Structure 1
Amino acid sequence: MGIKNRLTVMSFLQFFVWGAWLITVGNYWFGTKGWSGAEFGAVFSTLGIASIIMPALTGIIADRWINAEKLYGILHILSGLAIFYIPQVDNPTLFYWVIFLAMMFYMPTISLSNSVAYNILKNNNFDVVKVFPPIRVWGTIGFIAAMWMTNLSGNKASVNMFYISGFASLVLGIYSFTLPKCPAQKSVVKNASWTEKLGLDAFKLFGTYKMALFFIFSMFLGGALQLTNMYGDTYLSDFANTPKYADSFVSKYSTIIMSISQISETLFILAIPFFLKRFGIKQVMLISMLAWVLRFGLFAYGNPGDGLWMIIMSCVVYGMAFDFFNISGSLFIETTTDFRIRSSAQGLFMMMSNGFGAFFGGIFSGIVIDKFFTHDGVRDWHNIWLSFAGYALIIAIAFAVLFKHKHYAEDVATVTH
């Protein structure tokens, strides 16, 4: 099997593991278990806490001490074992801690998968900007495949989705040990400082105004990334409580509808090289932020009847909102940091977006929705999505004004060197 095909398998399984439960866990939490909304926000904050602690730490380990592909495999095996235990949990507190443990192992694998792919591709003389996005597309396809499997098999609110995820995680963990070696950069400059010896150099990036601002906005936009993962499927399923839409395709097959978002991702991922080289990181990320405004706004006014087109368009726009931020941000880190700290820098990006961003987004959204938009157990989805849209719009305006970055087309080409 060729290098690109081997990385494609890795990418597919990386996000299949997540897609098996991430979008549908709300139905399991609210429907099957009947637990509360505020606690659900805390559960999703585990993705943030894990991303704060682990990606930067594992990035340092991969840069200094252990082959990245081996560390990647170990983390997936441990994550799979934790996910396998979730079906045994029968109270929200223990559920929180088991999910937290699983995410401590899983979340750093997202940035590590990028580092492993970049390393292997460059070692085999591939143009990363051109070759990586089509490989990454298969991660999205894996996510979609897991969502469809969960929904069509009738398991979108059952414990089986955790078994599916756990099994895939174990398979990927074992498979990772067969990948080409990604050795640690063990050499440390003579008379190096303690930060250099410990591999903490990447944190110096916060000392640069542009990089610090990039990480800060990554955090704020990261707060929006998990909102539709947390509430999208539950929102569509809730239409079943309205007699007019009780038997609609949207409420019955909410996960299939949500998968349009991931299908859209596959198209926008392939467009990233063009947009990145043509417009540069600032414009691409600004487009992403405005796409988030549309994502939430269209959800606010959509319904399974005459507003179905808005729900579908919201899912289509998601591809641009997610990819133009997540993938372009990762490539930006790859083009602007020293090769000795790239795994660490990818970890920092993950820490700010899926770490602090997801943590604060999960905690505050759960509290706000429970306090201001839930009445007698019924959630006011219209105003929930409008508030999210307003948040994304404020972030977009601030980013356009504050982030200064002059784009040169040749800058992007440096990712291949």
Structure 2
Amino acid sequence: MKTTIRIKLSFMMFLEFFIWGAWFVTLGTFLSQNLHASELEKANIFSTQSLGAIVAPFIIGLIADRYFNAERILGILHLIGAFLMYQMYTAPSVGMFYPYVLVYMILYMPTLALVNSVSFRQISDPEKQFSSIRVFGTIGWIVAGLSISYVFKWDAGEGMLKNTFLMAGVASLVLGLFSFGLPKTPPAKRSAEEKSNLSQILGLDAIKLLGNRNFLMFFLSSVLICIPLAFYYQYANQFLTETGLANPTGKMTIGQFSEAFFLLLLPVFFSRFGFKNTIMLGMLAWAVRYLLFAYGNAGELSYMLILGIALHGICYDFFFVSGQIYTDAKAGERYKSSAQGLITLATYGVGQLIGFWVAGFVSEYYQTAPTNAPFWQNVWLVPAVIAAVVLFLFAKFFKNEPTKPKPSV
């Protein structure tokens, strides 16, 4: 790969995830402090991510993969995104904010697949070359978080978090314009049968894999574990802010450093302990993380909050990345793309959609329910219990397999 192309792809990845990390991490705190949103209103707004994930396959499969260059669609979507970010920046109420964030997420979620498409078309050995490009996305997310806490100090001042949308909007404008200079990525040539196969586009071909008991158990566990995941996305930053932890957004980037570190360790765990034990460790980490949040504080027990953040690498890599590898192995050549699409739809779409609403109802309930325990302790114990139940069910019903399972279809 030419150095200039590598630099372009790396900068594209940096901006793609800088944009997301610039506003989504602090969204819950912003909605609480700036727009005074209720818990159910927060759930409604966070669920736009899941709605975007559900719609994304239509945009990618029916439009991007068939008629237009990926880099051009990427540019157009981010230019529109810059306008929508400015509208969110100026929105005075939840009612005005919601339609803009809904349209934005419907347009942004497809770009996650588009940046991958542009990258994969330019590299000759994805297994060796892609990670060195994708890591700049993680760096972008980290830089966004550190900028909010340590450069601009927006999470230390009341009402300042609205500026995160302006920062994300500027970055979206830059990426929108930059995208038109990316390597040309025209639609791949397809046969007439492939062009008309809607079920393959949406990942529905892979439903046949659910006939395998192990894959069915993994599929259901993936949906259920996204409920605890949604609690983290929706409330972690607000919880750390209200608890009094200094520079909460910057400290949350510890999770991204952890993610990069444990991603390197994942092959070791796979080879030594196998898929089942690795993924169970990821489930256990979710339960432990929320127990640490439930009983930690910003004073002498602040190390519990930091450790809970640092567990993100195990929580995410050992379950979701392991799950992607397992899905790829189980699907076989014919269903690889469809199976990944099905799992993505189940997790980021259906699973998190349920999770955001469960989180909203739980927090709404504990705001008024008579209880002796603190509000946040009650809230965090719920996803801890859910993760523990999913762990128990998976351990009981998932039959152990070799590290590299044979395709079942």
Whether the TM-score (by the shorter chain) exceeds 0.5 is yes
Moved more, 345-354 or 21-30: 345-354
Aligned equivalents of 1:271, 1:336: Cα separation in 2: 22
| Superposition pairs of residues 392-407 of structure 1, within 5 angstroms | 392-404=387-399, 406-407=401-402
Residue 380 of structure 1, aligned match among 362, 366, 375: 375
Any idea what SS the aligned residue of 1:145 has?
helix
Change (3 A) 1:149 1:219: same
Residue 84 of structure 1, aligned match among 77, 83, 86: 86
The residue aligned with 2:22 is 20
Any idea what SS the aligned residue of 2:253 has?
helix
Instruction: Render the CA deviation track for 1:354-388: whole Å, top value 9, x for unaligned.
Output: 11122111112111211135569x97111211111
- CA RMSD after TM alignment: 3.0
The residue aligned with 2:147 is 149
Instruction: Render the CA deviation track for 1:287-309: whole Å, top value 9, x for unaligned.
Output: 22121112111111111222112
The residue aligned with 1:245 is none
Moved more, 58-67 or 256-265: 58-67
| Superposition pairs of residues 174-213 of structure 1, within 5 angstroms | 174-188=177-191, 192=193, 196=197, 199-200=200-201, 202-209=203-210, 210=212, 211-213=215-217
Change (3 A) 1:230 1:193: closer
1:290 partnered with 2:292: no
Instruction: Render the CA deviation track for 1:69-120: whole Å, top value 9, x for unaligned.
Output: 4333333332232112102211212212111111001122224434443443
Residue 217 of structure 1, aligned match among 215, 221, 226: 221
Aligned equivalents of 1:269, 1:107: Cα separation in 2: 23
Aligned equivalents of 1:213, 1:59: Cα separation in 2: 28
Change (3 A) 1:257 1:176: same
| Superposition pairs of residues 336-375 of structure 1, within 5 angstroms | 345-374=339-368
- Aligned residue pairs, count: 395
The residue aligned with 1:158 is 161
The residue aligned with 1:246 is none
Residue 171 of structure 1, aligned match among 174, 185, 191: 174
Deviation, structure 1 residue 351: 2.0
The answer for unaligned runs of 5 or more in structure 1 is 241-249, 413-417
Any conservation in 1 of the 2:202–2:342 contact (CA below 8 Å)? no
Any conservation in 1 of the 2:202–2:341 contact (CA below 8 Å)? no
Aligned equivalents of 1:114, 1:194: Cα separation in 2: 21
Aligned equivalents of 1:72, 1:379: Cα separation in 2: 45
Aligned equivalents of 2:90, 2:368: Cα separation in 1: 30
Change (3 A) 1:150 1:276: same
Any conservation in 2 of the 1:60–1:344 contact (CA below 8 Å)? no
Any idea what SS the aligned residue of 1:158 has?
helix
Change (3 A) 1:188 1:280: farther
Deviation, structure 1 residue 336: 5.3
Amino acid at match of 2:360: G
Any idea what SS the aligned residue of 1:77 has?
helix
Greater relative contact order (Cα < 8 A, sep 6+): 1
1:232 partnered with 2:236: yes
Aligned equivalents of 2:163, 2:206: Cα separation in 1: 43
Residue 111 of structure 2, aligned match among 109, 114, 118: 109
Any conservation in 1 of the 2:290–2:381 contact (CA below 8 Å)? yes
Question: Quick one: percent identity of the two aligned structures?
Answer: 34
| Superposition pairs of residues 262-341 of structure 1, within 5 angstroms | 262-276=256-270, 279-334=273-328
Any conservation in 2 of the 1:59–1:343 contact (CA below 8 Å)? no
Amino acid at match of 2:240: L
The answer for unaligned runs of 5 or more in structure 2 is none
Change (3 A) 1:373 1:117: farther
Moved more, 53-62 or 387-396: 53-62
Amino acid at match of 2:389: I
Aligned equivalents of 2:393, 2:179: Cα separation in 1: 41
Q: TM-score, normalised by structure 1?
A: 0.83
Any conservation in 2 of the 1:38–1:367 contact (CA below 8 Å)? yes
Deviation, structure 1 residue 162: 0.2
The residue aligned with 2:137 is 139
1:259 partnered with 2:261: no
Moved more, 362-371 or 70-79: 70-79
Aligned equivalents of 1:79, 1:345: Cα separation in 2: 29
Change (3 A) 1:95 1:201: closer
Deviation, structure 1 residue 392: 0.9
Any conservation in 1 of the 2:57–2:201 contact (CA below 8 Å)? no
